[in-house]
Structure 1
Amino acid sequence: MQTPYTLIVPQPDVAEIPLIFDSPHSSRHCPEDMQAIAPQAAIDSGWDAYVDQLWSGAVKHGATLLAAQNHRSYIDLNRSRLDIDPELLDDAWPEAIQVSEKSKAGMGLIRRYALPGVAMYDRKLSIAEVQHRLTQYYDPYHQQLQDLIHHAHARFGQVWHIDCHSMKSVGNAMNIDNGAARPDFVLGDRDGSSADPSFVLWIAEQLRAMGYIVNINNPYRGAELVRAYSNPQQGRYSIQIEINRALYMDEKTLAYNAGFPVLQQNLTTLCGLLARYIRDKLQAN
Structure 2
Amino acid sequence: MANTEIPGVVRRTDPIGEPAPLVFDSPHTGLLFPDDFKPTIPMDTCERVADWFVEELFGACTTHGAILVEALFRRAYIDANRDTADLDLSMVEGDWPHPVDVTEKTRRGASLIWKVIDGETAIYGGKLPAELVRTRIETYWRPYHAALAQALDETYDRFGRVYHVDCHSMPEWGDARWGDQGERRADFIVGTRDGTTAGAAFTEVVVESLRASGYSVGVNDKFKGVELIKRYSDPSKRRESLQIEVNRGIYMDEAAITRSERFAGTKAAITRMIEELETFARLG
> What TM-score does the superposition give when structure 2 sets the normalisation length?
0.95
Which residue does 1:138 correspond to in 2?
141
Which residue does 2:9 correspond to in 1?
4
Which residue does 1:86 correspond to in 2?
89
User: Does the aligned pair in 2 maintain the 1:26–1:47 contact within 8 Å?
Assistant: yes
Unaligned 5+ segments in structure 2 are 1-5
Which residue does 1:218 correspond to in 2?
221
CA deviation vs aligned residue, 1:15-64 (integer Å, no higher than 9, x gap): 10110000000112211211112334532443100101111111111111
Letter in 1 for 2:26: S
Letter in 1 for 2:10: Y
User: Does the aligned pair in 2 maintain the 1:5–1:69 contact within 8 Å?
Assistant: yes
Tell me, what secondary structure is at the counterpart of 1:7? strand
Aligned equivalent of 1:239, options 233, 238, 242: 242
Which residue does 2:3 correspond to in 1?
none
Cα distance in 2 between the residues matched to 1:223 and 1:42? 25
Cα distance in 1 between the residues matched to 2:99 and 2:216? 42
User: Does the aligned pair in 1 maintain the 2:86–2:103 contact within 8 Å?
Assistant: yes
Aligned equivalent of 2:23, options 2, 5, 20: 20
Tell me, what secondary structure is at the counterpart of 1:240? strand
Which residue does 2:271 correspond to in 1?
268
Aligned equivalent of 2:255, options 216, 232, 252: 252
Cα distance in 1 between the residues matched to 2:242 and 2:103? 21
Pick closer, same or farther for the CA change 1:175–1:40 going to 2, 3 Å: farther
Tell me, what secondary structure is at the counterpart of 1:219? coil
Letter in 2 for 1:119: A
* Residue 191 in structure 1 maps to residue 198 in structure 2: no
Cα distance in 2 between the residues matched to 1:112 and 1:3? 22
Aligned equivalent of 1:65, options 62, 68, 85: 68
* Residue 35 in structure 1 maps to residue 38 in structure 2: yes
Cα distance in 2 between the residues matched to 1:211 and 1:101? 33
Which residue does 1:157 correspond to in 2?
160
Tell me, what secondary structure is at the counterpart of 1:170? coil
Cα distance in 1 between the residues matched to 2:275 and 2:109? 39
Which residue does 1:127 correspond to in 2?
130
User: Does the aligned pair in 1 maintain the 2:205–2:277 contact within 8 Å?
Assistant: no
The alignment-based identity, stated in percent, is 35
Cα distance in 2 between the residues matched to 1:53 and 1:137? 22
Letter in 2 for 1:157: G
Unaligned 5+ segments in structure 1 are none
Which residue does 1:106 correspond to in 2?
109
Cα distance in 1 between the residues matched to 2:51 and 2:179? 18
Give the total of aligned pairs: 279
Cα distance in 1 between the residues matched to 2:93 and 2:15? 45
43-52 or 174-183, larger mean C-alpha shift: 174-183
- Tell me the C-alpha RMSD between the 2 structures: 1.4
Letter in 1 for 2:23: I
Cα distance in 2 between the residues matched to 1:171 and 1:124? 30
Letter in 2 for 1:4: V
User: Does the aligned pair in 1 maintain the 2:8–2:32 contact within 8 Å?
Assistant: no
Cα distance in 1 between the residues matched to 2:61 and 2:7? 25
> What TM-score does the superposition give when structure 1 sets the normalisation length?
0.94
Cα distance in 2 between the residues matched to 1:155 and 1:15? 12
Tell me, what secondary structure is at the counterpart of 2:273? helix
Letter in 1 for 2:84: R
User: Does the aligned pair in 2 maintain the 1:222–1:240 contact within 8 Å?
Assistant: yes
Cα distance in 2 between the residues matched to 1:108 and 1:180? 25
